[in-house]
A and B are shown apart, each in its own frame.
Chain A
Amino acid sequence: MTTSLLECERTARSDGLAAGLARALPATPADRLAPGRYAAVPAAAVPEGAEVRTHSLADREDIVFLACPCRPREERDAHELADFGRHLAAVRLGVLRSVLDHVVEHLSNRTSGDEPLIRKQLIAGAIGDVMAAVERLRAQVRSQRHPAAVADVHRELDELGWRVAQHLGASGFLATSPARSLYVSALVAGTWVDREPEGEPA
């Protein structure tokens, strides 16, 4: 990945979703760039007096949803939006890696039949599948700029996040669990990435 994409991933992995999002956001104001009526932004970046919606889980990630004018598709800067979508995907990959680190620790400490779960073939294979998908998505983020390819990465990240969270069982459904950031990162992407872009990669 480019240095910038790598920095987004590393920041999100080490410092969390809001820090990654802050690094990824372009200079263009969010309310000018966003494709919908709301755009997820770090709470610290909201202009004074701006209208926002909050969400109980996003609050804990220091993220709010800024009201935006919802410009028609033809008025949006598709190129800039897709480029931000790539950086946001890198942020989500960092969040995913962070939760996966937690999952591996969790599964190393839980046993079944006196054997750590992480050593079970079913589990180890699933972790291998996740990382293979991460490497593939990183390559797609690095090399593909078409909005359809970017939307495709985010769809896959929705699914991959679920596959990671499943390993935490009920503990991954606690609002205090690191897996919360997977849910919120999908919510964030849902405000920025148009999943039905026009056209296909040439």
Chain B
Amino acid sequence: MIELSDRVRAVRDLSREAAADLRSRALAIDVDPDAMEEHYNSPVFEMVRLADTPPQYRESLPSTPLLRAMERGSCLENVAGLIELARGDVGAILACPSPGLAGVFVELLGTPEQQEWFFTRMHGGRRWSFFAMTEESRGNDATAMETRFDRDGEGWRLNGGKCYVGNAARGSVGVVFGRTGRGALSIRAALVEVPAAGWHGEKLDMIGLRGAYISRLSFSDVAIPAGRLLGDHLPVTRRGIFAAITTFNHMRVRIAASAVGTALAMVEYVLEHRKNAPGGQLALARAEAGRELVYEAAARIDGDPERGYLSSAAKLGAVGLAVGTAHWASAALGPAGLIEHPLLEKWTRDVHAFEFMEGTSNIHRLHVARGYQAGDADA
């Protein structure tokens, strides 16, 4: 069992309280993710935005216990809070205008000037960021990406396209990956601000998790001014995609946390409406065990960020747990239960999205097998 520190417990408890705000917005965001005006005032959105922003680039806002608790901390602290927020609604979390994953990369690879450029553009909570890596024909095989940065004087021209990128079609600023040459080390990330000539984004019509505003992007000679490529000040091996392995390990645990949080939400919802639902206590026990695994994976990442065996195992297990819980919940409230309970029905759709976020289950099966052979299961 992972023993949570006082600080992590405080984050967990405050996030648990905050989840109610997200849940109250969940169905409205699912029905119309474009109608965000009514959600800008969410205190949780503000909390997430500030937690995603390095302290030196934050806007000045009144300090509250919740904000103080969201000071940037360990992976364990991060996922302990996220599981609780996900019990509110993951779609609402992903609809939040915040630096998000793009911010993580800018902090990792950006100069202080680039960081200030990016993070100050996120002030005010009315702008979305995007992290554009996946390509439609290449899935998560990022090393095979075809999007290019073509030299143009001191700057670059961006050509190609990306797909399944959260908030991209409504995003204002973000990170786009492409290649400056043929080798794996030529894969680089650039800061992009839109609207820009040659940039086209469209929201994709998805089965669920509609708050994520999953989008397709296409680029035709989009101008990337000099100084927008991230990592020029770093050694060649630390500039691009390979610098980010530790971040991906961290992000996988976050997806696992989202899946476990949604599983917990579904079980609790069913038991609230049918106290003695058959299989309810078993479903709850499984979800709580999933939470324990996510805690353990996060603690492992805090100890050794480069070893991803347990983060892959946790992601793989959490997705199966969430989908299995959705199947149980679909039947637990009796015939037509999902038609009578739209929030539960929404979650049973949402959970399928966790499958392809941060690597599909097949990719993680391979990671887990390799990690096992490397002795990581006994480390």
Contacts and interface: CB of A to CB of B under 8 A. Distances in A.
Interface of A: 34-39, 53, 55, 57, 65, 68, 110, 112, 122-123, 155, 158-159, 162, 165-166, 169-177, 179-180, 183, 186-187, 190-196
Given A35-B335, A169-B356, 16 more contacts: A39-B336, A53-B339, A55-B345, A65-B336, A162-B352, A165-B352, A166-B355, A173-B207, A173-B353, A174-B206, A176-B205, A183-B207, A187-B339, A190-B331, A191-B339, A194-B335
B314 interface: no
A171 B345 CA distance: 21
B327 A155 contact: yes
Nearest to B356: A170
Contacts of A179: 207
B113 interface: no
A77 B335 CA distance: 15
Contacts of A68: 336
A190 B207 contact: no
Interface in B250-297: 278
B319 to A, nearest CB: 9
B139 A173 contact: no
B290 to A, nearest CB: 17
A190 B340 contact: no
Nearest to B144: A112
B349 interface: yes
A155 B163 CA distance: 33
Contacts of B330: 158, 186, 190
B343 interface: no
B208 interface: yes
Contacts of B205: 174-176
Contacts of A165: 352
B334 interface: yes
Nearest to B361: A166
A113 B270 CA distance: 45
Contact of A112 (B141, B163, B324, B339): B141
Interface in B199-232: 204-209, 214
Interface residues of B, number: 38
Nearest to B277: A196
Contacts of A176: 205
Contacts, number: 104
Contacts of B362: 122-123, 166
B142 interface: no
Interface in B327-376: 327, 330-331, 334-340, 345, 349, 352-353, 355-356, 360-362, 365-366
B134 interface: yes
Nearest to A194: B335
A55 B339 contact: yes
B137 interface: yes
A172 to B, nearest CB: 8
Contacts of A36: 334-337, 339
Contacts of A171: 136
Contacts of B163: 170
A15 to B, nearest CB: 22
A192 B366 CA distance: 39
20 contacts: A36-B334, A38-B340, A65-B336, A65-B339, A155-B331, A162-B323, A162-B352, A165-B352, A166-B355, A166-B361, A169-B360, A170-B134, A170-B356, A173-B206, A174-B204, A174-B205, A176-B205, A190-B330, A190-B339, A191-B336
B164 interface: yes
A98 to B, nearest CB: 17
A37 B340 CA distance: 8
Nearest to B278: A196
A187 B340 CA distance: 12
A157 B192 CA distance: 45
A183 B349 contact: yes
B207 A180 contact: yes
Nearest to B164: A170
Nearest to B353: A173
A74 to B, nearest CB: 15
Contacts of A65: 336, 339
Contacts of B324: 159
B270 to A, nearest CB: 13
A122 B368 CA distance: 14
Contacts of A169: 139, 355-356, 360
Nearest to B327: A158
A153 B137 CA distance: 35
A173 to B, nearest CB: 5
Nearest to A159: B327
Nearest to B136: A171
Contacts of B134: 170
B32 to A, nearest CB: 11
B335 A173 contact: no
B34 to A, nearest CB: 15
A37 B341 CA distance: 12
A192 B335 contact: yes
| Of A110, A158, A172, A183, most B-chain CB atoms within 10 Å | A158
A45 B209 CA distance: 31
A36 B209 CA distance: 27
A112 to B, nearest CB: 6
A115 to B, nearest CB: 12
Contacts of A162: 323, 327, 352
